Amino acid sequence: MRRLLVPALPAAALLLGLTACSGAAAPAPGTSAAGGTVAVVASTNVYGDIVKAVGGDAVEVTSIIDDPSQDPHEYTANARTQLALTKAQLVVENGGGYDDFVGTMLSATTATPRVVNVADVSGYDQKPAQGEFNEHLWYDFPTMVKLTDQLSRDLSTLAPDRAQTFSANAAAFTAKLDGLEKTEATLAEAHRGVGVAITEPVPLYLLDASGLVDRTPEQFSEAVEEGSDVPAGVLQETLALFSGKKVGLLAYNEQTTGPQTEAVLAAAKANGVPVVGMTETLPAGKDYVGWMQGNLDAVGSALQG
């Protein structure tokens, strides 16, 4: 599991920077920010978009990682990030080891925002007996339903006068998530058991819920995720998935590339295996539901040939 990097500056230096550039103090817990909005910081723009869907115009959201062209694992937090966290009333982090920098930076301040940890909200065992915990929870729609409910409750605590709006927004967003789950069920009915290959475990929740089976050697996807070299024998085993027509598509993480993932991409194209690009952050101009529907549509189109 590759973790997002912790601050490049020592905590003392970050706090010094805050002293120089911070203005008004953060609103007290349980009260709305200036202008009647709740200040929210999300570790990525994926969660930022979901917060906006639930909070509407009652929230002011800062998404720390929001560059769709950047590998999120190469992100390094800075004083600007810390400043946003000190002003937040609500913080949404993925957890599960993905964005540990959030907790590290919060611990260097006296701020006490409400914190939503999505890995905890999921209810999944984060220390499974076999394999590693898949921290890419935004590809798991049942967890996003739970997150939506949690956000509605937390925002209602912070801005009680808007509770009815938050509840209505959450219900509308949950209905859209239900639609995504129905699409997965439809894909599963048509393609259950079809093998797929991945470069990283990013979309595995979605692929599994769609009835597909990951055929990628575990050592390959683990090595890519950790940023380490794939053993030569494992790479050859992975490439054979395409030459042997053992998979119906390749789910390719477009934000993490290197010689070995590019070799897999070339093998898929050379053998006529469809490639579906997946990302870890929200693409420019997309909202969460539209993005995920596009991913599901791409998977369906690839499997139909």
204-227 per-position pLDDT tens digit: 999 999 999 999 998 898 888 777
Closest CA to 43 of 104, 1, 93: 93
The residue out of 180, 209, 229 marking a domain boundary is: 180
What is the pLDDT at residue 1? 53
- Would the pLDDT of 28 be above 70? no
Q: Do 144 and 262 share a domain, yes or no?
A: no
CA distances from 107 to 67, 86, 97, 230 (A): 25, 10, 16, 36
Sheet of 38-44: strand order equals 59-65, 38-44, 90-93, 114-117
Q: Do 15 and 138 share a domain, yes or no?
A: yes
Residue 71's domain spans which residues?
Answer: 11-180
What is the pLDDT at residue 24? 35
The two tokens of residue 199 are: 């470069």
Q: Do 281 and 218 share a domain, yes or no?
A: yes
| Greater pLDDT, 193 or 16 | 193
Mean pLDDT of 230-237: 94
The two tokens of residue 238 are: 């992975």
Mean pLDDT of 141-148: 98
The residue out of 152, 180, 208 marking a domain boundary is: 180
Q: Do 118 and 221 share a domain, yes or no?
A: no
Neighbours of 175 (CB within 10 A): 9
Let me know: does 173 contact 144? Beta carbons within 8 Å. Answer: no
Q: Do 172 and 196 share a domain, yes or no?
A: no
What is the pLDDT at residue 294? 98
State the chain's mean pLDDT as an integer: 87
- Would the pLDDT of 19 be above 90? no
Radius of gyration of the chain measured on its C-alpha atoms? 20
- Residue 1: inside a domain: no
What is the pLDDT at residue 128? 87
63-112 pLDDT, tens digit per residue, is 998 876 665 566 677 788 888 899 999 999 999 999 988 998 899 888 89
- Would the pLDDT of 18 be above 90? no
- The confidence band for 274, taking pLDDT boundaries of 50, 70 and 90, is very high
The single-letter DSSP state of residue 229 is P
Q: Domain count of the chain?
A: 2
Q: Do 173 and 246 share a domain, yes or no?
A: no
Question: For the CA atoms of 120, 125, 126, 128, what is the dihedral angle to 10 degrees?
Answer: 180
Q: Do 250 and 201 share a domain, yes or no?
A: yes
The residue out of 146, 180, 214 marking a domain boundary is: 180
- Residue 186: inside a domain: no
Q: What angle do CA 134, 96, 265 make, to 5 degrees?
A: 35
The single-letter DSSP state of residue 211 is T
Let me know: does 46 contact 281? Beta carbons within 8 Å. Answer: yes
What is the pLDDT at residue 211? 98
Percent of the chain with pLDDT over 90: 70
> Which are the contacts of 156, defined by CB distance < 8 A and separation ≥ 6?
162, 163, 166, 167
